[in-house]
Structure 1
Amino acid sequence: MKIDLNIFNEIISSIKNYKNLLVAFSGGIDSMVLIDILSLLRDKKIKNNLSFKFRAIHINHFLNKNSKKWAIYCKNECKKRNILYNIYEINLSKIKNNIEEKARNYRYKIFKKNIKSHEILLTAHHQDDQAETLLLSLKRGSGPLGLSSMNLNSKFYKNRIIRPLLNCSKIQIKNYAKYRKLNWIYDKSNDNEKFDRNFLRINIIPLFTKRWPKFNYLVSRTARLCYEQEKLLNDLLKKELNKLIKYDGSLYFKPLINMKKNKIFFLLRRWIHKNKIKMPSEKQINIILNEIILSKKKSMPIFHLSNKIISKYKNKLYILEKQECIKLDNTIILWKKKNNKLSLPENLGIIYKFFEKNIYYSEYFFLKKNKNKEFFMIFPIKIFIRLPNLNENIFIKFRNKKKSFHTIIKNKKYSLKKIFNKMSVPPWWRNRIPLLFYNNNLISALGLFVSDFAYPIINNKILKIIWKNNIKN
């Protein structure tokens, strides 16, 4: 048996422009072939003009009783080839539903955390995987973007992800492994037909390839054509979509209502795709259009998509994390004066306070005018206020529907609800914004405004408050 040089050529052409690679290494036949070829190319045992470094990452999901042995096996295979490696563990043994999808999501989160800024992620997906992915997209009723399946080279957060074996068949990979006398891990869960991908691989695709031997190749070509069509549409409508997407990532949907349905669907899909969510089916897009966008109900409609929530407020669609809808009613935190930082619940970040002198605080805020020609003081994240008096304690509270907070701005009394309405703060965030109190006086809704109770500043002694969070809204 001769070695198939095409498999080398595919990998060489895929990585020729990159110097530092991170390889997802499961220990299965596909990733074993990939690291074996990369090590031969790196060591110049196969003639090439490449100059690169690579390391491997193995993730133990604890979904098999042999998973620890597999991790040790991968470690030894890397040592044998002088490959730097990392092993990560995520215990998914208690997960009962959607195991495949959840395991993949956790894997890619680890890849994201582990990959360095100058590296490219490599996975061992091949032509047969592409056929399975496209058929699964057909089953879900996905549009052209979903049918474009996996790409040879695509964006991975701030890096790139490359699938150098995507144009290679499983037969090519098996033949290479036999020629090189490689050993690999075989996961018996791959025989479990309750998983859709395994069902296709075992029962459906063999029937297609028996009748049409080039089926997987042709499916792969179809995926590429769908990708090219989607890319063209995206280029044509990119400016229009970007105008609809607001600074907080929401989608202004009012102009969509007068568009043709196919254009609405395309723009919604692209917006959802930009938010790293699995491509929705036509049925799901219809629900978003009819039950969210066009809904006349006074109550705020929501739709669960993957592990996110889609809702609307004032002609804008928002994609929310589920934790963003957790309420913090009745939460009151005493911020001890001697402590300079305070950690907030529900991953809302940390608040810091600093004592400053001789700062002209008026330079640090600006005024915003609303439709009623009233002015509010608006702060990005940082605020400058007076120090609390000796008899005043500092509290952090959160809005409670049963208890209405009031404050004074420009000598006028306002309810917190009215201020939030005028500032277009979405309802799901209103009871998650930290409210800074001195005793019973509302000083500031952090990130939004300060009240008259924050002044006057005496002897230029200023308290600077900074709220550090990862909230894009």
Structure 2
Amino acid sequence: MLKDLVQALERLPPARRWLVGLSGGLDSVALLHGLAQLDAPPGSPGLRAVHVHHGLHARADEWARQCQVLCDALEVPLEVVNVDARPRRGQSPEAAARRARYEALADRMAPGDALLTAHHRRDQAETLLLQLLRGAGPAGLSAMPRWQPYGSGWHGRPLLDMDRSVLEAHAHQHDLVWVEDDSNTDLGLDRNLLRHEVMPQLRQRWPALDTTLARAAGLQAEAQELLAERAREDLQDLRGEVAGTLSIPAIRALRRPRQRNAVRGWLQEKGLPVPNQNRLESLLRQIRDASPDTRLRVSWPGAEVRGYRDSLHAMAPLPPVDPGRVWSWDGTTELHLPELGMTLSVEEMARLHELDPTRLAWPLTVHLRRGGETCRLRGQTRILKKLFQEAGIPPWERERIPLIYAGDRLALVWGLWCCDLPTGVVGGEASE
């Protein structure tokens, strides 16, 4: 195993430090032990282990202690991280645990670090079959890459070309001790059913199954790379007038397969989850039928896409806001508005509006738009809705822009306009 491990590490990018995700199971124990046994010349990456304590199993504390015993014996530093692995709405317990685990691991990475996990050839084969049964395309069928950017560094899988039998032999040869998670035998979980019932029968008929499926995953990865390259080329011609948007008329001009590919690439570029096939088709239908006045909107877990004035906008789902909410602001401290994801300060007010905040009659109140507001600019009273339309502000952004009132008069539309105010509310000439 050690020779193969050395060769696998040589195919990975350089790293300042290796962080091993140590569950305590056979695979990660064998990986950590193998890395600790390597003859490390000066300048080799440092080695440490991280165990994520989900708190979901009755033996979770025992597993953490077993990891500590192993790391003490190998003289490898270990960090045990407690996480909240409760599932979010619509999320499975397995997905929640995986999310919490990888978020915790990413938080422990510094620039130049490499997270190493013990995924092997059988894991790769199982992943490919699972994705195939879920109807995945090339991205899903690519299964797990050998390495990919992650956190502040990258995530590598040095055992991906090894069969699990090699890890088992290594563990027994060195009398290693590992923990057994009884949830791994729960046939109610899809991966376990494949692992314990389906895959053994397939291997009896096709002994080279794992190698063959791993090769198929590699071919799918090549196909996906070409699709990603095509998406990047198309996106150069699809950019909207507003930064980060796509032009709806330009998307319509593409054939449907290229539309799907480009939209997927755009969402991935933004770090947003890609929708399933039904949601994506719904979005493309709305794009096809949308007029400039259409309120186009398609959402799915983790993302939503909206249309405005022939431009397509993508974002994380926006939480609802209460238009009746009012905040008091004394002007001496920052005003935190978590509902809007922003903080107001007098320094930022002065910078944005070129206005001396001491000229305003404090205290102020902060409102959200309800409709019917007016702002007097250069002696002319303007309806706020019209100002927003002229400025091209999308409707979903308008309802999240703080409106600053001095008394009962609108003084500022945050980041956009400074309204004319009568003497006593603000001194001197108002600025726009």
Please name the residue that 1:133 is paired with. 127
Deviation (angstroms), 1:418: 1.8
* Structure 1 position 99 matched with structure 2 position 93: yes
Equivalent position amino acid for 2:121 in 1: Q
* Structure 1 position 305 matched with structure 2 position 300: yes
Instruction: Verify the 8 A CA contact 2:286 2:296 in the aligned structure 1.
Output: yes
Please name the residue that 2:284 is paired with. 289
Deviation (angstroms), 1:64: 0.7
Please name the residue that 1:384 is paired with. 354
Instruction: Verify the 8 A CA contact 1:146 1:279 in the aligned structure 2.
Output: no
What do the CA deviations read for 1:310-367 (whole angstroms, capped 9, x no partner)?
Answer: 3322233333323x23113111111113x321111326132222499xxxx8xx6xxx
Instruction: Verify the 8 A CA contact 1:386 1:457 in the aligned structure 2.
Output: no
CA distance in 2, matches of 1:422, 1:296: 18
CA distance in 2, matches of 1:443, 1:458: 12
1:157-306 map, 5 Å = 157-245=151-239, 248-291=243-286, 294-295=289-290, 300-306=295-301
* Structure 1 position 148 matched with structure 2 position 142: yes
Cα pair distance change 1:174/1:255, threshold 3 Å: same
CA distance in 2, matches of 1:85, 1:458: 63
* Structure 1 position 439 matched with structure 2 position 432: no
CA distance in 1, matches of 2:232, 2:205: 41
Deviation (angstroms), 1:267: 0.8
Please name the residue that 1:397 is paired with. 367
**Higher RCO by CA contacts (8 Å cutoff, separation 6 or greater):** 1
Q: Secondary structure at the match of 2:107?
A: helix
TM-score (norm 1): 0.81
Cα pair distance change 1:8/1:49, threshold 3 Å: farther
* Structure 1 position 351 matched with structure 2 position 321: no
CA distance in 2, matches of 1:61, 1:163: 22
Q: Secondary structure at the match of 2:198?
A: helix
CA distance in 2, matches of 1:270, 1:148: 16
Instruction: Verify the 8 A CA contact 2:321 2:400 in the aligned structure 1.
Output: yes
Cα pair distance change 1:390/1:349, threshold 3 Å: closer
CA distance in 2, matches of 1:438, 1:62: 51
Please name the residue that 1:62 is paired with. 55
Equivalent position amino acid for 2:18 in 1: L
Cα pair distance change 1:103/1:19, threshold 3 Å: same
Deviation (angstroms), 1:443: 2.6
CA distance in 1, matches of 2:87, 2:264: 33
Deviation (angstroms), 1:173: 1.6
Equivalent position amino acid for 1:222 in 2: A
Please name the residue that 2:76 is paired with. 83
* Structure 1 position 428 matched with structure 2 position 396: yes
Gaps of 5+ in 2: none
Cα pair distance change 1:409/1:83, threshold 3 Å: farther
Higher strand proportion (structure 1 or 2): 1
CA distance in 1, matches of 2:274, 2:210: 22
CA distance in 2, matches of 1:244, 1:158: 30
Please name the residue that 1:36 is paired with. 33
Identity of aligned residues (%): 25
TM-score (norm 2): 0.88
Equivalent position amino acid for 2:324 in 1: N
Deviation (angstroms), 1:387: 3.0
Q: Secondary structure at the match of 2:324?
A: coil
Equivalent position amino acid for 1:7 in 2: D
Instruction: Verify the 8 A CA contact 2:21 2:115 in the aligned structure 1.
Output: yes
Gaps of 5+ in 1: 365-381, 464-473
